[in-house]
Structure 1
């Protein structure tokens, strides 16, 4: 008789893991969720991004915040940490992708994926409390509309769909989403600090919906536990080993046995585990395609900043992302803001340099601007009230480009590295992002009456773009020769192991991917049988 500590262990508590926790608990499974990050109540979040220990994730340095930063040779990655994963520090922006996403050749044939996912997108929107159009118009929204008009794409301008409880600002009411089964909620105050962590209680994080309801169904969540190994057990199921996050000496390592495992540690965490477990032999049948089709959403983070805070235009007031437009059919631009005082991420910003020049040319261009206009660049580059002087331009593309990730041994540790992959080269900069940022800067100057300039990022100067939407690498495929998981998100060769997070996404959506990850997870878990019932999913081919 097989005895398991848990029916299902879920690694990670972001959008995929949270869906799995709720839906599998509803189906009668004993569920345990391990999360590397800490658990936050609303009052635990940083008041501004300068509270580094509450904002940044670097546990070995005593920082247990919500913002992870990873680096690869071809991209710098911004990700989330904590119970609720990326929902804690994302910008609440919940778009559906366009047709090109569903037309990508990587999707397994025989399924109309857009139609297949339609009901699951609807469920995800209901669960995440999507407001289809941000209802407020202020100076930033007018600047974005004007920039779209100046670029000749006014018809593409729209207000963003957001996952925020607007309500009465600052007023707490009983759960308005789940017939009283969810937590009390407080109306949004438009403080702008969505991405630092919502202290108001207005942001529809996963702790306000999926995870709160999952715990009511009996799911257990263990924060500050990092999974170090998932190993197939000859007796059946998997041995899952965890340790204290950030521990130097007292790691408190522990192993439990689970019948099934769901990997939902985000693209970075899930890929790292799969690569390591394949290399060590703990999960020897993982597809050789692991790491391929890793996507960055073909993304860049540029923007515009004024030389001083405008007297009348309150640029930092509002939800983090409120509007968007399309520069062309595959390039999507959104405004992003931080609230007053949250100026730390301004350290990444610098002069917008011509991306078509080589490394020396980009550095020379930057130095030339600093030498020719030292006082202006000093004002533009100052972190003082940076969030109140600028607009970040988040630019995403549905282009077919990718990286291939693999393990590299360095200083006695296995780390992820990257090389160019399938399709177009993953871009080191986006000319469309530069065009959009310049248009936004021109409109900002016109709207506020204060001189403004387009800005880039320090990594981009060295040919390394920024992305907040790291995807793929463990993608859906028709067979182990085409992907890591099957159409039901079961790992090829290890069918009791599942991948249900952004690493399963096979193509660049060109929009914020949170809604798509949630819909894919809803679909995957909908096909699981109830505990004790027959599994109607077709078995994977043997051998």
Structure 2
């Protein structure tokens, strides 16, 4: 049985050239690294964040503060390797993960397949619907990430609170599939994982080791198969060479000397903001791309909101590990959801999930939610107040729906910005506000749309599920990449750059209406099958067998 090991290498171990360089280590980057390493390719992974071991995620407010980096244009406060990367924009705010494993480290881990009507939209290339590989992609992603529905979820206090709120819609909640191990297990990458303790701290990083993040699945698998992984290195742009590519990078947070590494093939998996930014910079330096680059940004209809003062106890604040408070289990960050599809209008569909605030945020909650910022007594009683006082009735809602994907990602002073002046007028926000107001009032609570309105987060819309910017299309006139995730080589036609791919949430040509991790993973798995076919390569997807198992069958 292989215990979690350090995945990253010292920068000095980097070779001058590889078969493949993967930029980013989230779902798309991790899958590319795993599958291409299994195919016998010499793979290098570059990640701008740092590697965080199990047990090293923030458990207290001071630790959480150190993990916060806030960007406003080129200005940044906090460490460039902070786990929470907040981008403040003039129109919309975006929150993304930063670390080895990308957003999988700090997301809720909800793994959903979109409504079938999403892929029926003609905005997708025909091959996505027609060749059957998308189903294979979903199956392979699910086999590695192993989403599961917690059998005891309906008994959780916060699930019962969601059930009470669901009465206004006349539709009961269902358990959500979560990428968490609820039993001790050796995962398909051969890594031993502990069982979930239901502490509720999924969104601040799992200190138990139960979360099936990219770090303990695809990246661990990639390392086992020979991939070389390097952290705290930020890629600025890529340069086309006669026989491949040069990837230019620098130390994260360091304005020192830039460096580079060469490869026959480059997979950009730096996320919606990161991959688009890299391609935009590359285009400024002469790389020919589609004119659609940067277009089609979507916030995926995201809203995080709250109901305060409801009649039911909710128990939706994490307790951490070891637990800061113990009375009844909290559960995973999301355990249940109300699915509200609209049969007549896909874009009016929504999913309302109950959410959990991490324990490290607990001391801040009284400041956000008690009128006038009044604290709940002395510092020692703040935490107790959160778990037993009025804030134990605080109900969190995570909602995903659909927007029109009309945002644009642009470079301004060499930093990525979202340009979407009318985003707050999107129908989705009024629609979701109305639904959540009804839910809050139904349980006797008050709907609070944005408790951060008095902070520098402002009152603008925010998303943790940014999509688009390098959207798929049939040709360069309609997309930045084709159905294989290959980057189009100009503003017209279907010719692509040999050896340049984008493999992350940026390739979505529209909103998904659900948490995007499983769709990103499925499309990445599909792209790996296409790459292998195009290059006469092969790879198996068999789980790694622990040494003890191998010895027992020898």
Aligned to 2:486: 490
* 2:307 is aligned with 1:304: yes
Secondary structure, counterpart of 2:447 in structure 1: strand
Instruction: Check the 8 A contact 2:150/2:182 in 1, yes or no.
Output: no
Against the structure 1 CA distance between its residues 479 and 134, is the aligned structure 2 distance closer, same or farther, given a 3 Å change threshold? Answer: farther
Q: Does 2:335 match 1:342?
A: no
SS at match of 2:88: strand
Q: Could you tell me how far apart the structure 2 residues matched to 1:111 and 1:339 are?
A: 37
Counterparts in 2 of 1:12 and 1:326: CA distance versus 1, 3 Å: same
1:216 aligns with 2:224: yes
How far is 1:332 from its partner? Answer: 1.3
Measured at CA, do residues 429 and 301 of structure 1 come closer, stay the same or move farther in structure 2, by a change above 3 Å?
same
2:397 maps to: 393
1:239–1:255: 8 Å Cα contact kept in structure 2?
yes
When residues 315 and 85 of structure 1 are mapped into structure 2, their CA distance, relative to the original with a 3 A threshold, is closer
Is 1:176 equivalent to 2:186 in the alignment? yes
Shift of residue 532, structure 1, vs aligned partner = 6.7
Cα deviation for residue 414 of structure 1 reads 4.2
Q: By how many angstroms is 1:314 displaced?
A: 6.4
The 2-side partners of 1:160 and 1:186 are apart by 20
5 Å-filtered alignment, 1:274-289, equals 274-281=279-286, 283=287, 285-289=288-292
Supply the distance in 2 between the matched residues of 1:473 and 1:314 (Cα, whole angstroms). Answer: 34
Q: Deviations over 1:204-253 (max 9, x none)?
A: 111111110110000011000000121111x22111111110114xx242
Other structure's SS at 1:407 match: strand
141, 159, 178: which is aligned to 1:124? 141
Shift of 1:150: 1.9
Contact kept, 8 Å, 1:336 with 1:392, in 2: the verdict is yes
Give the aligned partner of residue 256 of structure 1.
261
Residue aligning to 2:474: 478
In structure 2, the partner of 1:322 is 335
RMSD: 3.2
Match of 1:360 in 2: none
**Per-residue CA shift, 1:404-460, capped at 9, x if unaligned?**
222233xxx4442413599x96458334234325524642x5xxxxxx422121567
Q: What's the CA shift for 1:112?
A: 1.9
Alignment partner of 1:207: what SS? coil
**Contact 1:37 1:245 (8 Å CA) reproduced:** yes
Residue 117 of structure 1: CA displacement? 1.3
The range that moved more, 262-271 or 40-49, is 40-49
After superposition, the Cα gap between the structure-2 partners of 1:134 and 1:512, relative to the gap in structure 1 and judged at 3 Å, is farther
**Partners of 2:315 and 2:252 in 1: CA distance:** 43
Within the alignment, does 1:55 sit opposite 2:72 as a pair? no
SS at match of 1:199: coil
TM-score, with structure 1 as normaliser: 0.81
Do the aligned residues in 2 keep the contact of 1:17 with 1:262 (CA within 8 Å)? yes
The structure-2 alpha-carbon separation of the partners of 1:426 and 1:503, relative to structure 1 and needing over 3 Å to count, comes to farther
Match of 1:146 among 164, 169, 172: 164
1:123-522 alignment to 2 at 5 Å? 123-133=140-150, 135-136=152-153, 137-154=155-172, 157-167=173-183, 173=184, 175-178=185-188, 181-233=189-241, 235-248=242-255, 251-281=256-286, 283=287, 285-306=288-309, 313=315, 316=318, 317-327=330-340, 329=342, 330-343=349-362, 346=365, 378=374, 384-385=382-383, 388=387, 389=391, 390-409=394-413, 413-419=414-420, 426=426, 429-440=429-440, 442-443=442-443, 452-457=445-450, 464-493=460-489, 494-522=497-525
Within 2, Cα distance between the matches of 1:301 and 1:314?
14
Residue 402 of structure 1 contacts residue 426 of structure 1 at CA under 8 Å; is this kept in 2?
A: no
**Mapped pair 1:525 → 2:501:** no
Which deviates more, 188-197 or 50-59?
50-59
2:34 partner SS: helix
Ranges in structure 2 where 5+ consecutive residues have no aligned partner: 1-14, 71-75, 319-329, 343-348, 490-496, 539-554
For 1:327 and 1:260, the matched residues in 2 are separated by: 42
Question: Equivalents in 1 of 2:61, 2:269: separation in Å?
Answer: 26
CA distance in 1, matches of 2:367, 2:133: 40
Q: How many residues align?
A: 483
The answer for the alignment partner of 2:45 in structure 1 is 33
| TM-score calculated relative to the size of structure 2 | 0.80
The SS at the match of 2:500 is: strand
CA distance in 2, matches of 1:108, 1:92: 28
Secondary structure of residue in 2 paired with 1:247:
coil
Relative to 1, partners in 2 of residues 1:499 and 1:346: Cα closer, same or farther, differing over 3 Å?
farther
Paired with 1:152 and 1:38, the residues of 2 have a C-alpha distance of 46
Which deviates more from structure 2 when the two are superposed, residues 139-148 or residues 87-96?
139-148
Change (3 A) 1:206 1:313: closer
2:55 to 43, 59, 64: 43
> What is the CA-CA distance between 1:300 and the residue it aligns to?
1.3
Shift in alpha-carbon separation, 1:297–1:114, aligned structure 2, 3 A: farther
Measure, in 2, the Cα distance between the counterparts of 1:314 and 1:76. Answer: 24
Partner of 2:10: none
Aligned residues of 2:80 and 2:252 also touching (Cα < 8 A): no
In the alignment, what sits opposite 2:33?
Answer: 21
1:130 is displaced (CA, Å) by 1.0
Aligned 8 A contact 2:366 2:374 in 1: no
Bigger shift: 461-470 or 236-245?
A: 461-470
